[in-house]
Chains A and B, each alone.
Chain A
Amino acid sequence: AQSVTQLDSHVSVSEGTPVLLRCNYSSSYSPSLFWYVQHPNKGLQLLLKYTSAATLVKGINGFEAEFKKSETSFHLTKPSAHMSDAAEYFCVVSLTGTASKLTFGTGTRLQVTL
């Protein structure tokens, strides 16, 4: 069984300040972990993925995430927020090496203010 918990449903930051979106997961086996972003009225786009290689994963648009097995976490960070980062972010877990279904978190809405 697998599950994912996004700890904040809504995060608000000022432009130019760091972003932290938190995600904890539960998986019986070696997981693959993903972050997807959804801008308003758009589909989801892959930001980054972890598949048991390097624990620090770099993605698009300056985002990165660190896999911490001891804490069962996969938090998403960015050093400096931009207005265009305002969107909804989804943390996702699946079993590595399979085409089985993925389990999505409930999403974190990121607001970026001037």
Chain B
Amino acid sequence: DVKVTQSSRYLVKRTGEKVFLECVQDMDHENMFWYRQDPGLGLRLIYFSYDVKMKEKGDIPEGYSVSREKKERFSLILESASTNQTSMYLCASSLVSGGANVLTFGAGSRLTVL
């Protein structure tokens, strides 16, 4: 089975801190994604990457950056955390199967910014 591992399940940070969220997948998938999940809003795409060192902005990239130095690892960076970035963050990787982009998700990282 494909496994997507997010290094931290729960984090508590202070306003203004720099935050790194790490994600590793073990099945050689080309595409990786970072989503933010908030109640009543579903999942919103922050950034995605379709290859090493390649990235594209999603729907809500403001306040975030990403890094993909190796194919298996995709990091989300909050340069200066703010309270409105308190959320659940979900990483995913994908394989295009039968014409469909099928995502495999990690368990999520719940970030609280005080």
Which residue numbers of A lie inside 8 Å of B, CB to CB? 9, 32, 34, 36, 41-46, 49, 51-53, 90, 94, 96-102, 104-107
Contact = CB atoms under 8 A, between A and B. Distances in A.
Interface of B: 4, 30-31, 33, 35, 40-45, 48, 50, 58-59, 90, 92, 94, 96, 98-108
B101 A102 contact: yes
B102 A98 contact: no
Contacts of A97: 96, 99
Given A104-B43, A106-B41, A34 B105 contact: no
A54 B108 CA distance: 33
A99 B50 contact: yes
Given A90-B42, A94-B100, 5 more contacts: A32-B99, A36-B105, A98-B101, A101-B45, A106-B42
Contact of A96 (B90, B100, B107, B108): B100
A43 B106 contact: yes
Task: Name A's interface SS.
Answer: loop
Residue picked from A32, A49, A94, A102, most chain B C-beta under 10 Å: A102
B48 A49 contact: no
A44 B90 contact: yes
Nearest to A96: B99
20 contacts: A32-B100, A36-B105, A42-B108, A43-B4, A43-B90, A43-B107, A44-B92, A45-B105, A46-B102, A46-B103, A49-B100, A51-B100, A90-B42, A97-B96, A99-B96, A100-B101, A101-B45, A104-B44, A106-B41, A106-B42
B100 A105 contact: no
A42 to B, nearest CB: 6
Top 5 A-B pairs, shortest CB-CB distance: A43-B105, A106-B42, A32-B100, A104-B43, A104-B42
Contacts of A102: 45, 101, 103
Contacts of A100: 101
B109 to A, nearest CB: 10
A52 B90 CA distance: 28
Nearest to A44: B105
Nearest to B35: A104
A99 B42 contact: no
